[in-house]
Chain A
Amino acid sequence: MHIHPAERLIFLIIGILSVANVALIWLKDIEFHFTGAEVMLATAAVFFGVSQAARRAGRFIRTSNVLLCSPCSSSTAMSAPT
């Protein structure tokens, strides 16, 4: 999934504000009840975070060959098994 730098910046702002919100709720001991909409938003945020982390992990694995030895990860070895 490609995310435009501007969208990434807005997500970053949303993330920072969310952390600030949680900190203020905790510091001020404010009673907070989750509604259906909030659970949905939190689920979407977690899904987005996990998908981004998976994407970055996948890119790291592909570029650094940490899981595959170099002969096995080469295209020749994959396409022409002996």
Chain B
Amino acid sequence: MFFLYSYVGSNLNVLLLPRPNPTMDAALVAIDARFGYSWPDALAWASRHPAISDFLRNIYLSTQTFLFLAFIAVGAFFDVRRLHKLALACVLGGLITVFFWAFFPTSGACAYWTLDPKIVEIVRPVAGSAYGAELNRLMAEGVTRLDNFNIKGLVGFPSFHTVMALVIIPALWPLKALRLPLIASGLVAMPGILIHGGHNLMDIPGGIAVLVVSWYLAEAVLKAREHSVQSVPMESAQAAA
């Protein structure tokens, strides 16, 4: 069901192209600079540490696998309510991300900077400058065909990869033995998202904010739905009396 949602949601994201409003990438790059971060510098560092870069790429590309495993673990160790909460949080997080992007579009650092080809050759970022140029073209022209599924992601801010990488922490938090590994995996995923996802630094706090909102919203929605289901038999019993 969640994968069906992912398919429909990613198609909607593509179909919302082109965006008439200008992207906010320049503003995010300026904010990043105040924190001393720039994507080309991060990739230059990664090019000097290719083994770490390869490790971060593997972690970045495994995010969806980790999420899938988290779904299985939640289903195995907890009740169905927690599984629903995780699924709802992911669905709501995706919706918030896409709708925020629709009004305030961003493509990430990869669409703003042009990297040195030598660095690209060593680091081989998943979303590099060539992909950024393609994002800029899509942002301006949109799509004419919907059979191109080589699009790895369109949204810069907030980072939905951050949501996917970190949502497993609250989902599996009651398992005390897994807390430290979960936090460690979340922390390791962040540099991978920045370097290989071609994101701005600010995209990550944006993703964390979306995660917090969607997690609590999922709980609120579940409570409201459960309350409405419980109140229906009571109302009908009262009517019968």
Contact = CB atoms under 8 A, between A and B. Distances in A.
Nearest to A20: B12
Interface in A15-56: 17-18, 20-21, 24-25, 28, 30-33, 35, 41, 44-45
Interface in B78-93: 80-81, 84-85, 87-88, 91
Contacts of B2: 10
B5 interface: yes
B146 A32 contact: yes
B221 A41 contact: no
Interface string B27-45: 0000000000000000000
How big is the B interface, by class? 20 to 34
A79 B5 CA distance: 47
B144 A10 contact: no
Given A5-B226, A10-B91, A32-B145, A21 B8 contact: yes
Interface of A: 4-7, 9-11, 13-14, 17-18, 20-21, 24-25, 28, 30-33, 35, 41, 44-45
Given A6-B85, A9-B225, A10-B88, 7 more contacts: A6-B221, A11-B1, A14-B5, A14-B8, A20-B12, A33-B146, A41-B4
